[in-house]
Amino acid sequence: MSELLHISSEPHVRDARTTQSIMRDVLIALLPAALFGVWNFGLHALLLIVVCMVTCVATEGLYQHFMHQPVTVTDGSALVTGLLLAMNLPSGFPAGLAVLGSVFAILIVKQIFGGLGQNIMNPALAARCFLMISFAGRMTTFEKVDAVTGATPLAMLKNGAVSDVNIGRMFLGTIGGTIGETSALCLLIGAAYLLARKVISPRIPFAYLITFSVFVLLFGGHGFDVAYLAAELCGGGLMLGAFFMATDYVTSPVTPNGRILFGVILGLLTGLFRIFGASAEGVSYAIIFSNLLVPLIEKITVPKRFGEGAQKV
């Protein structure tokens, strides 16, 4: 025989996508919301985006260099972490503290756990929670479009002022909030891109949003109020979290049923935090807590092998 058989170990499924191409798609999908945030809040928002992205890349590169590891900053994951962190910050947040958050995200949450693929929670959200705990006042001071500080729509909903919330402005994004969370429209455009490119599975975000919607309608105290539900869906970091952070490959389940269960847990926790918690928001903590449950979720939802569990004859 002139031809030889080439035998290799599993897995035998091949995919043309690489980490670099996936991260590039995520950056492209985040671009509409990021650009809108700069237009909405001004040049300081752009400064924070640049600072976070540069600091994340520099931290990862320096750590890997001094630890004598392969330098992998070209895969784009550090850029995505930096952009996501910046989009979760208020536009007036000090740049120096943004550097601190970026170093925490890469060094503490990502690299110390082993780098990309080993971290147990989303680095950008972990850094946001770290900054929220450490600098709560600065993290909850939001600027409106006219640079005047004021309450966010979620805060007004929390206080019962549903009639004062403009859903149209919430959908477009001309409201107070963090840099990248205000425009539901821009985030949905980016989400549609990721879904069309099959970068993310619809199971997690759809299960998340549906569960959260049912929870709000049942326990929100406003009955079947479509306007109230729309405001809750468009407000805060729900869209950003559902499509861009809950779907993180490393910290979300790989099993199909596990992804649905993960989304359901996210929806329940976010509803609990928003409706019954002290804060008007709850997406970040819901995702972080759910990240820690992923090993258990995968254990109970892993498909059985053919013939497993069958009775012996």
pLDDT in tens, 75-119: 999 999 999 999 999 999 999 999 999 999 999 999 998 888 888
Please give the tally of structural domains in the chain. 1
Neighbours of 73 (CB within 10 A): 18
Flag whether pLDDT at 288 surpasses 90: yes
> Between vectors from CA 106 to CA 57 and to CA 22, what angle results, nearest 5°?
65
CB-based contacts of 6, cutoff 8 Å, min separation 6? none
Q: Can you state the angle between helices 203-219 and 256-276, rounded to 10 degrees?
A: 30
pTM of the model: 0.88
Give residue 46's pLDDT band: very low, low, confident or very high (50, 70, 90). Answer: very high
Say if 197 falls within a structural domain.
yes
CA 7 to chain centre: 40
178-234 pLDDT, tens digit each: 999 999 999 999 999 999 999 999 999 999 999 999 999 999 888 888 989 999 999
What is residue 9's predicted lDDT score, i.e. its pLDDT?
47
Say if 36 falls within a structural domain.
yes
CATH at 72: 1.10.3430
Domain with 131, as residue range(s), is 20-301
Residue matched to tokens 């309450």: 151
Sign of the dihedral through C-alpha 140, 144, 147, 151: negative
Say if 54 falls within a structural domain.
yes
Say if 15 falls within a structural domain.
no
Q: Which residue has the higher pLDDT, 175 or 212?
A: 212
Secondary structure (3-state) at 178: strand
Say if 308 falls within a structural domain.
no
93 close to 37: Cβ distance less than 8 angstroms? no
Say if 311 falls within a structural domain.
no
Q: Using CA atoms in the order 39, 41, 46, 52, what is the torsion angle rounded to 10 degrees?
A: -140
Say if 296 falls within a structural domain.
yes
Length of the chain in residues, anyone? 313
Structure tokens at 61: 């590169």
Say if 312 falls within a structural domain.
no
